């Protein structure tokens, strides 16, 4: 699959002391496609995202058959080439918008820094582009926000700014790691609406990481379900929701329904032995429990 924006073939990631945090993951994201990555806490979603952008901490090791981002194989590229992909090939929106920005500098100066590669444009041109991007991200009074400090904006507003910042670099792939988890429900709906609009306008491909099936259903074309470092199931969102094959996916769907009733927003950790028993009854193949989860169950 050469025209994919992201093409992962059997990718694994280990941290020192953790047996594979990501294990044999194969996943593609095509131009303009929105792919969801869902799974419980600790299943390896952020690790996978960070490996794509070369953001893993020292000591983490990535291996696999191939890991192509916008045509470059990250597994064989130099650190310098990987750094050059950050921005034009892929940009990331993080869970906590407060942590994305330095509290010491204005929004405008930080977004100008995002455009450091563009040496041909003047500061004035960059300012105009940034103000336009802020307006497109639904920020009211963007001129004034340009000169504001992060603490002067609400969490939802700041998340709009980080989406604007990511898209300023015109990436082929936007990776959003739980972009709405830190926000209230109203803000969450607004951010998802914004992402849908921006996707339609810019054609950017998105890898959307979430705990919440509702978020995935809202915005994604396809979804991959991660469990203990592996993708246990992937396919079209409607197909997976209508007829989940893997016991973990079934447990996830059952959980979400009970959460809707109880008003909670986070998925509990699924009991592995329960999932295993369910799979025996259903005759579905369950992957071996990896050592990285410890022996807590």
The contact set with ligand ATP (CB under 6 A) reads 15, 18, 21, 39, 41-47, 57, 211, 292
Long-range contacts of 141-145 (CB under 8 A, 24+ apart): 145/107, 145/108
Minimum CB separation from ligand ATP for residue 278, in Å?
22
128 CB neighbour count, 10 Å cutoff: 12
Q: Which two tokens stand for residue 133?
A: 């991007």
Minimum CB separation from Mg ion for residue 69, in Å?
19
CA–CA separation, 227 and 220 (whole Å):
19
The option from ligand ATP, Mg ion, none interacting with 44 (CB < 5 to 8 A, set by class) reads: ligand ATP
191 vs 198, which CB is nearer to ligand ATP? 191
Residue span binding Mg ion (CB under 5 A) among the ranges 24-32, 40-48, 78-86, 129-137 = 40-48
Minimum CB separation from ligand ATP for residue 72, in Å?
23
137 vs 220, which CB is nearer to Mg ion? 220
26 vs 106, which CB is nearer to ligand ATP? 26
Minimum CB separation from ligand ATP for residue 34, in Å?
19
Residue span binding Mg ion (CB under 5 A) among the ranges 3-11, 18-26, 41-49, 192-200 = 41-49
CA–CA separation, 295 and 191 (whole Å):
38
Question: What does the DSSP 8-state code read for residue 283?
Answer: T
Minimum CB separation from ligand ATP for residue 252, in Å?
13
146 vs 227, which CB is nearer to Mg ion? 227
For every residue of 163-180, DSSP letters joined together read HHHHHHT--SEEEEESTT
- Which residues are CB-contacts of 165 (< 8 A; sequence separation ≥ 6)? 91, 100, 110, 111, 114, 133
Minimum CB separation from Mg ion for residue 47, in Å?
8
Length of the chain: 297
Task: Dump strand ranges (E) for the chain.
Answer: 6-15, 18-29, 34-38, 61-63, 66-69, 72-73, 90-93, 173-177, 205-210, 222-227, 230-236
In order of 101, 112, 146, 150, 154, the CA distances from 104 in angstroms are 9, 15, 14, 8, 16
Q: Are 167 and 91 in contact (CB under 8 A)?
A: yes
181 vs 245, which CB is nearer to Mg ion? 181
The option from ligand ATP, Mg ion, none interacting with 180 (CB < 5 to 8 A, set by class) reads: none
The option from ligand ATP, Mg ion, none interacting with 100 (CB < 5 to 8 A, set by class) reads: none
57 vs 103, which CB is nearer to ligand ATP? 57
- Which residues are CB-contacts of 78 (< 8 A; sequence separation ≥ 6)? none
177 vs 256, which CB is nearer to Mg ion? 177
Residue indicated by tokens 């990250």:
74
The option from Mg ion, ligand ATP, none interacting with 171 (CB < 5 to 8 A, set by class) reads: none
Minimum CB separation from ligand ATP for residue 140, in Å?
31
The option from Mg ion, ligand ATP, none interacting with 255 (CB < 5 to 8 A, set by class) reads: none
Please select the residue that binds Mg ion; options are 12, 14, 46, 212, rule is CB under 5 A.
46
Binding site for Mg ion (CB under 5 A): 46
């Amino acid at each position: 699959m050469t025209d994919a924006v992201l093409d992962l073939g059997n990718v694994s990631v280990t941290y020192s002391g953790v047996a594979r945090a990501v294990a044999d993951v194969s996943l593609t994201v095509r131009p303009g496609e929105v792919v969801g990555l869902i799974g419980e806490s600790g299943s390896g979603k952020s690790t996978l995202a960070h490996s794509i952008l070369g953001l893993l901490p020292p000591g983490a090791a990535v291996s696999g058959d191939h890991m192509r981002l916008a045509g470059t194989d990250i597994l064989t590229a130099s650190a310098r080439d990987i750094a050059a992909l950050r921005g034009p090939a892929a940009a990331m929106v993080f869970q906590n918008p407060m942590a994305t920005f330095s509290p010491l500098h204005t929004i405008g100066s930080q977004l100008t820094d995002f455009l450091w590669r563009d040496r041909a444009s003047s500061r004035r041109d960059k300012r105009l582009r940034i103000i336009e991007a802020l307006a497109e991200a639904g920020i009211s009074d963007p001129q004034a926000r340009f000169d504001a400090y992060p603490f002067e904006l609400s969490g939802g507003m700041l998340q709009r700014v980080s989406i604007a910042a990511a898209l300023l670099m015109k990436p082929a792939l936007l990776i959003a790691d739980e972009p709405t988890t830190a926000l209230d429900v109203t803000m969450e709906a607004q951010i998802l609406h914004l992402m849908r609009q921006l996707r339609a306008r810019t054609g950017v491909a998105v890898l959307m990481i979430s705990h919440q099936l509702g978020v995935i259903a809202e915005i994604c074309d396809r979804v991959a379900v991660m469990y203990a470092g592996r993708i246990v199931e992937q396919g079209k969102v409607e197909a997976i929701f209508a007829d989940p094959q893997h016991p973990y996916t079934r447990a996830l769907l059952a959980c979400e329904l009970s959460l809707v009733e109880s008003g909670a927003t986070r998925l509990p950790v699924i009991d592995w032995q329960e999932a295993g028993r369910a799979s025996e009854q259903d005759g579905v193949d369950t992957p071996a429990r990896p050592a990285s989860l410890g022996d807590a169950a």
